[in-house]
Structures are given as C-alpha cells and as structure tokens.
Structure 1
Amino acid sequence: MTMRLSLTAYKQVQPRVNFQGGLKMKPFFRRKDKVVFVVGPTGTGKSRLAIDLATRFPAEVVNCDKMQVYKGLDIVTNKVTEEECRGVPHHLLGIADPNANFTSDDFRHHASLVVESIVTRDRLPIIAGGSNSYIEALANDDPEFRLRYECCFLWVDVSLPILYSFVSERVDRMVKAGLIDEVRDMFDPNKFDDYSQGIKRAIGVPELDHFLRNEAIVDAKTRRKLLDEAIDKIKENTCMLASRQLQKIHRLHSIWNWNMHRIDATPVFLTSGKEVDNLWDKLVAGPSTMIVNQFLCDKNYASPIIPSESIKMEPISVPAMAAGATR
C-alpha cells in the first residue's frame, strides 16, 4: 500500500547564509531535501528494494549502475524489466550512448538534475545501484548536493560465499535468457574491439570475444569447451566485482562516515519457494521501510551497523566458487 506522504513537511530547516560582522540581517533559511541511497554489491537485491520502497512512498528511482546507464544489452547489464518496475518511474536507465564513456562527472551532473526534478514534484529520490564511484561523486564530491540534501544510505548485504553462488546461478539464467545472442548481435569478428570503452566494458562482453571469434571455425566439442570457459570467466569476474564493491562500501563508510544502515539479506538467499517473498519483506523491505519513514519524520532512526574496520574479508577462492557453483 502506497503511503501518500507530503515530503515537504519532513524537510529539515538548515541555515543557508550566516552573515558575520556588523551586518544586522537575519539568516536566510532553506529546508533540506531528503534522498535515499540503496547500495550493495551486485546481486543483493538493490533494485528490488528500491522498487519496494517506491511503492510504499511517493518516490522515484534513479539508477546509479554504470553499465545500466547505457542503451542496449539489457540482459548482459541485468536491467530491470518493465514488469519488474511495477509502474515506478526510473531515471538514468538506458539513456547513454553505448560507445561513449559515461563518467562519474557525467553521472553527477545528470543525477543532480534528476534529483532536483523529483524533489520539485514533492517526491522522494531513491538512488539505487552498485557503482560506488558514481555514488561517491554525487554524495561526497558535490558540495552543492551535500548542502542541499540530507542522505540516508541503505546497505543491502549478503554473505559473500552465498552471494557468489547466487550470482553464478544468475549468470546461467542470463545465458538461458539470451545473453550469448545479445552479445553476438553487437560483435564484429572483422575487428578487434576496445573493451575499455562504453558498454563493451560490461561483464559478459569481453569474456565472449574468444568464443565468438572461433565458434564458426571449430568443431562442436571445441565450441562447447570455449563457451563453457567463457561462461566460467563471466561468473568469476562477477564474483570478483561483488567483492570489490563490498570492499569499497567498507572503505567509503570508514572515510566519510555515511549515515548507513546495514540490512542483512543473507537468510533470504538461503531460502527457496514461497517463503522467499515473506522473508524478504520481514528482513529487508519491512525494516527498510521503517528506516525511511523515520528518516522522513526526522526521528532517531539509527540502526545497528558493523563498523567497516571490524569486518573481516574472509579469503575465498572466487574462481573455484564461480566455476563450480552451478555445475
């Protein structure tokens, strides 16, 4: 059920100008707008949580995934479908030229405009995605953004061994959904692509290069072997991405001391069947809704969080887990 709140009533009053010296003028005050960030490694359910929240508050979602910002390769980049959006407006999703580099500065510029547009319509911006460099550029490196907005960070966390298994299985589902054909459609065997530019940096594209260059000139057994190796590499690189993203979240929290709330979704990923949705609402969507509601009401909404310096990154064989998780 959507909560029809007027966000204007919950904005903090902050001093905009503080005159010093002999000027006898009253300070000019402005109300500080609210922004929610949903962060976490790939595969933890950030998009689902953002959409859940946007159906419970008058809100819109702003994508901050640096591959999903590009047009095309919807399967490879794992963009949310129209059905999954459930009518929630999404911004900065599939808007950039796939051959250009959409930088952190580009994101900061476009996201600032989108957020301003959303709050002008008295709605809550929910910025969701795993590209922490984008988040840092906006939330920390933009003085005007920091001055104007108060931020609440929801960190969706999943135990890495469990997450590795999940994202590996997700790669298999993406392959069944047409990932190979999607990359093949943009592949030109007559030239060597630059996989450091635009959407071609996305995991799932460079890993298939060797297979696509040779699939027409090798026998069926070799072709199957090359494809399996490419898929294993996609899984390995996805797991490594998840690990890097988690490490950066720890670092950013340690450096900037963000107002961050850790939501442990691990039990959800250990469950199957109908119980998944119930557990998700109980452990993830429900608590997050309460945190956001308290945030909007300016109540004391502090929740337990494990300090980043106390979290130990257990050594895990990423390649072994990625390759063997679903075989």
Structure 2
Amino acid sequence: MKQKVVAVVGPTGVGKTSLSIEIAKKFNGEIISGDSMQIYQGMDIGTAKITEEEQQGINHYMLDIISPEQTFSVADFQHMVRNHIDEISSRDKLPIIAGGTGLYIQASLFNYQFTDNKRDESFQKKLEEEAEQKGAYALHQRLKEVDPEQAEKIHPNNVRRVIRSLEVFERTGKSMAANHEKQSLTSEYEPILVGLEMDRQLLYQQINDRVDQMMENGLLEEVTGLYKQGLSNNQAMQAIGYKEFIPYLKGEETLERAIELLKRNSRRYAKRQYTWFKNKMDVHWYTITPNDKNINFSTILKDLAGMIDNK
C-alpha cells in the first residue's frame, strides 16, 4: 500500500497553519512545511513562520534548515521532503504537508523528474557576464521576451533565477510553465489534498491586517538586519515580505510605499496560489470564514477521517 500524505493548500493568510495543527493532533501526525522560504534561518516574520508556541509540541520539518546566503532548488526541496515523509511514516505517524508553494508541493508529492536539468555552465557563465555588463534589468527583459509568465514571477535582481529560466528555455525551446505541464502526476504516495478558500475581499482584508501585524512584530528590523549583512541580492531576499523594503533601505522609496507594495504583492501572490492549486491539483476545497474557523475545521476533520480510512 502507498503511504498516505495529507497536504493542506490554499492562498496565503487563509489559515493553513492552524488547520495542519488540528489535523496532526487528531490523526497522530507530524508537519512538513511546504513553503519555499521558511527554510531560511532568521527569516521568521516576513515568511509567517510558525512559532514554537504555535507548534503545540507537534514536530515540524523544513524550517530554518539553511542560511539566507545559500541557494536551494526545487529538486533539493523534493529530496528532503520525501526523506521526511519516509521517516515520519516509518514511526507510524501521518505525514502532513502545510503549504505553501504550489510547485514545491507538487514536485514533492508527484513524480517530477529533475535528472535531465543539468546545468550548462558555459551558458550560465555567459549570462552572468551579460548581467555584469548590461545590468540585471536587461537580462530580465530578455526573459520577458521569451517567457513573460516566468518573468512576472521573478524580481529582476534575482539574477540566478532569471538565468535558470533562460537556460531552461535555451535547452528546451519551451517556457518554464510548458515544461512543468509535461511532468507526470503519478505519485508513489496516496496524497489527500485539502484546500482552504475564502471570500476574496475577506481574504484580502486578512492579508492587509497580517502585514500590519508583521510590522508591529518587527518585520522592518528583520529585513534591515539581513540587508546590513549584504544579502539584498541573494535568492532569499527576493521573497515577498523582504524585497519590497530594499528600495526603502536604499533611500529610494518611502516606508509607506514599501508597506503598500507588500500588501499588494501578498494579495497578488494569494491569487496566483489559488489559481495554481485550482488548475494543477485534485484538491478537496472548503470555504471558510474568519469568524467560524473552528466550525469549518471540525467539518474538515470529520471528512478527513473518512478519506484516510477509505484510501
């Protein structure tokens, strides 16, 4: 029999973390973060990383595993998550992925193949030199011409990801999205995907409120500390919650504008997450409201009991 894995998915700010805790408590589970940015140490507030108190004694994995100076690929993520799934299940506990980042979760649960994606070092070096000579923006514009959808997702300063996307296009002649479409949706597991959704305006208000709370909790200080370490161009600092403050710290933008952009980018990201999970994965969706989460969660737990027993 294949190992059952529960994944809690949906847009940012909808309540995935709280639900994953309730599932773990009821079904003797342990939680793997499906978020591509919570892997970084010292990036806690901007990634909405679960606190030790919020974990309620439940073991959590894929948190604080590398420093912000390091890079981490989807293939790296896939490998580590699968190891955690195997280890958790070996102790007769239920692996639960709380996410997060659509591609990373899909790659971890399904048979995404990365073996053919070997780097072309000469092409990579050529683009690095082009970025130095013409600037990061020019390289980003080049990506925009061949793969506008991918360019929209990547900040121009994230030269590493821009180069990687151009390399994929150079090698395959297809966009990153088209290459993802080719991937198999077979799985060595039995995934049970639970999705949370919320009225758009209610969700956006929650996101705006959460950004305000992040600021009160010290988000600016967190970003400033990373900026002073010289990490402004690193992969980690291109995340939503961090990149918006770089122009402010450089004296190019007001703090009010940075906060406004963070709220806007968070709302847009929530919309992209929702679209990804709706289009790419077979998810059991539940509409929840901020004031009735406990009622909503009890319904989900009851349904999950049937799904886990019957699969």
After superposition, residues 126-165 of structure 1 pair within 5 angstroms as: 126-142=96-112, 146-165=186-205
Indicate how the Cα distance of structure 1 residues 174 and 192 shifts in structure 2: closer, same or farther if over 3 A, else same. closer
Q: Deviations over 1:141-164 (max 9, x none)?
A: 348995531111000111222111
Return the index of the structure with the highest Cα Rg: 1
Does the 8 A contact of 2:111 with 2:188 survive in 1? Answer: no
Provide the secondary structure at the position in 1 that maps to 2:202. helix
Q: Which residue of 2 aligns with 1:247?
A: 275
Corresponding residue to 2:55 among 67, 74, 85 = 85
Equivalent position of 2:287 in the other structure = 264
C-alpha distance after superposition, 1:114-149 (max 9, x if no partner): 000000000000001120010111222348995531
1:193 and 2:163 matched = no
Structure 1 Cα separation of the partners of residues 110 and 83 of structure 2: 16
| 1:115 aligned residue | 85
Gaps of 5+ in 2: 114-183
Q: 3-state DSSP class of the match of 1:56?
A: helix
Q: Distance in 2 between matches of 1:85 and 1:192?
A: 29
1:185-205 CA distances to partner (integer Å, 9 max, x unpaired)? 12139x6831xx432122122
Q: Greater relative contact order: 1 or 2 (C-alpha under 8 angstroms, separation 6 or more)?
A: 2
TM-score, with structure 2 as normaliser: 0.73
Q: How far 1:250 sits from its partner (Å)? A: 1.6
Q: How does 1:227-306 map to 2 (within 5 A)?
A: 227-253=255-281, 258=282, 260-265=283-288, 268-269=289-290, 271=291, 279-283=292-296, 285-298=297-310
Aligned counterparts of 2:79 and 2:260: Cα–Cα separation in 1: 37
Instruction: Give 1:210 deviation, angstroms.
Output: 2.0
Residue 240 of structure 2 corresponds to residue 203 of structure 1: yes
TM-score (norm 1): 0.69
Amino acid at match of 2:285: R
Structure ranking higher in helix proportion:
2
Does the C-alpha gap of structure 1 residues 147 and 157 become closer, same or farther in structure 2, counting only changes over 3 Å?
Answer: closer
Counterparts of 2:185 and 2:59, CA distance in 1: 22
Q: 2: distance between equivalents of 1:146 and 1:35?
A: 14
- Report the number of matched residues: 241
Residue 293 of structure 2 aligns to a residue whose secondary structure is helix
* Matched letter for residue 82 of structure 2: S
94-103 vs 71-80, which moves further: 94-103
- Larger deviation, residues 36-45 vs 205-214: 205-214
Q: Which residue number corresponds to residue 26 of structure 1?
A: none
The correspondence for 1:103, drawn from 46, 59, 73, is 73
Q: For the residues of structure 2 that align with 1:95 and 1:66, how far apart are their CA atoms?
A: 11
Q: Deviations along 1:1-52, whole A, 9 cap, x unmatched?
A: xxxxxxxxxxxxxxxxxxxxxxxxxxxxxx2211101000100111110011
Q: Separation in 2 of the partners of 1:140 and 1:282?
A: 31
- Shift of the 88–192 alpha-carbon distance from structure 1 to 2, 3 Å rule, reads closer
In structure 2, what is the Cα distance between the partners aligned to 1:167 and 1:122?
Answer: 36
1:213 paired to 2:226: no
- Secondary structure, counterpart of 1:296 in structure 2: helix
Residues 89 and 230 of structure 1: is their aligned pair in 2 closer, same or farther, counting only changes over 3 Å? same
8 Å contact from structure 1 (residues 112, 145) kept in 2:
no
Q: d(CA) in 2 for partners of 1:186 and 1:107? A: 23
Partner residue, 1:11:
none
CA distance in 2, matches of 1:79, 1:153: 21
Percent of aligned positions that are identical? 33
Note if contact 2:109-2:187 (Cα within 8 Å) is conserved in structure 1: no
